[in-house]
Structure 1
Amino acid sequence: MVGVGLRTGTRRTAPGDRPNTPDVRVAVGHTRSGITGFRRSHSEALAVQWLLAEHPKNARVALHHDLEATVLAAQDRERATEFVPPLSARSPRTRPARLRETVRVFLDEADNAPRTAPRLHTHRNTVLQRVTRAGELLGYHPHERRLALRHALEIAHRTGPRVLTRP
């Protein structure tokens, strides 16, 4: 059995769009057997649903299997908020969302700027400049605290503005 959490809402309509088209998102837990397995799977699906709630850029279908480390790291919202701040500050010279995404993909690509650049539709030198700027803001190079930074950036990527501001 698989636990599934559904979240529906109503999208705003654009000219020519059908009114009240539901915005459906699906969160799926691991497949397990029996009623106990269903309950656990459903609980996992609800945890993924909570993680992805209120962030319009997230995928329509999310699997607990893909997000379980992020779900675990983001369970305590207050601590998660403290985990992310160096790259969430707003200033005229920085674009924090762009820096966060660049460093997240850079770490995902094992610190490889030539592989990161096509994923971000930019030049490898731009990637290196952004990573350097992020390192200045953080006070350390991103590879020095890879695991913690990857978790923080993944939480920010999945939960959006919720985790970037204090509750």
Structure 2
Amino acid sequence: MAYWLMKSEPDVYGIDHLQQEHTTLWDGIRNYQARNFMRTMAVGDQAFFYHSNCKPPGIVGLMEVIETGLVDPTQFDPSSKYHDPASKPDTPRWDCVRLTYKGRFQSLLSLDVLRESYQPEELAVVRRGNRLSILPVDEPIARDLLKRLGPLQ
């Protein structure tokens, strides 16, 4: 099992949306490095749900990968802001995974606290200028984060 940190803006798709829907396609990824990270995910991997572009940003919940290797349907939809006219159904460029809601943490673990607690080599989200929406989290750091965050609600 691997661990990931996956960012989303709460007003676009937040932990409340996932809690209500219970499962979601993590689509709309248009960065090759983030896509390649997603391609290495396996069923059962755990992902920290991170609210970004909000005040304060931070980890709010936990998700689990339940399906991998899916074609991102938004790349073919001309009405989607994630439409990619260069991507063709027989040679799609963009993938996605399906995630399920595991729970939310009792309180947000803010980016400021993460920066005080971890070095950029330990947790990439604290690196200044890091804009990737999907990041791997090493198991020892993930276990420490889970301990800090406490039980899921």
Range class of TM-score, shorter chain: under 0.3
More strand by share: 2
| TM-score, scaled to structure 2 | 0.25
TM-score (norm 1): 0.24
- Please identify the structure whose Cα radius of gyration is greater: 1
